[in-house]
Amino acid sequence: MEFLRSAFETEWREPALGHDGVSAWESEHGAVLPEPYRSLIAEITNGSSLGPPEDGGLLPLGWLPPDWPHGADRDPAAPFPLQEAWAWEGDPLADDQATPLADDHAERVADVYKHGSIVLGTDDGPFYWVLVVTGPQRGKVWAVTDVGACPYPMPEAVGFLEWVQRWHAGDGWWD
């Protein structure tokens, strides 16, 4: 926790929720937040204006960026629908032939935005960072964009602590 305490500078922090506040959110939403994110928002800060992520910092628990697609109707307790990257706007390596979309394509895309995660923040939207809170990817950070979603960094996702460490090192997100 000391690293997280030092990574989020005091003057940029929002007040912590406390353990009772975090437990209340978890009860209301039916999802237990993964560590160390859970302890960070309970004990240190529930959001920070200074990153990560770069564009606006760490959002308070339950907040959404103003340009978040698919509305605010989210279900963190529903299983996160992905275990590997999915480019829903098409495979850039495919030839020029159009592939028909599955009947449930729009619903599957919406599920990525709505199910099994909390939003950490945004970078140069529409690019969102989410922390998966349910399913096999629980505790991992994913990037969700207007064209697809992928574990960060590909091909395997890292947890919240490693995500913050990469940002704090200043090496760039994809280095």
Residues paired with 129 in a beta bridge: 121, 143
Sequence ranges of the domains in the chain? 2-169
| pLDDT at residue 97, rounded to an integer | 45
Q: Residue 65, exposed/middle/buried by CB under 10 A (0-12, 13-18, 19+)? A: middle
Among the ranges given (16-30, 90-104, 124-138), the one the predictor scored with the smallest mean pLDDT: 90-104
Instruction: Report pTM.
Output: 0.90
Mean pLDDT (the chain, rounded): 89
Say whether pLDDT at 60 is over 70.
Answer: yes
Please tell me the number of Cα atoms within 13 Å of 19 on its side-chain side.
3
* Residue 174's pLDDT band (cuts 50, 70, 90): low
Q: What is the pLDDT of residues 5-31, one digit of tens each?
A: 999 999 999 999 999 999 999 999 999
* Residue 100's pLDDT band (cuts 50, 70, 90): low
CA–CA dist 76, 119 (Å, integer): 10
Question: Average pLDDT in the 121-145 region?
Answer: 93
Say whether pLDDT at 79 is over 50.
Answer: yes
Question: Average pLDDT in the 43-72 region?
Answer: 89
| pLDDT at residue 153, rounded to an integer | 87
% of the chain surpassing 70 pLDDT: 89
Say whether pLDDT at 95 is over 50.
Answer: no
What phi and psi, each to the nearest 5 degrees, are found at residue 124?
45, 55
Question: Average pLDDT in the 68-75 region?
Answer: 85
CA–CA dist 94, 125 (Å, integer): 26
| pLDDT at residue 106, rounded to an integer | 84
| pLDDT at residue 72, rounded to an integer | 74
CA–CA dist 59, 98 (Å, integer): 38
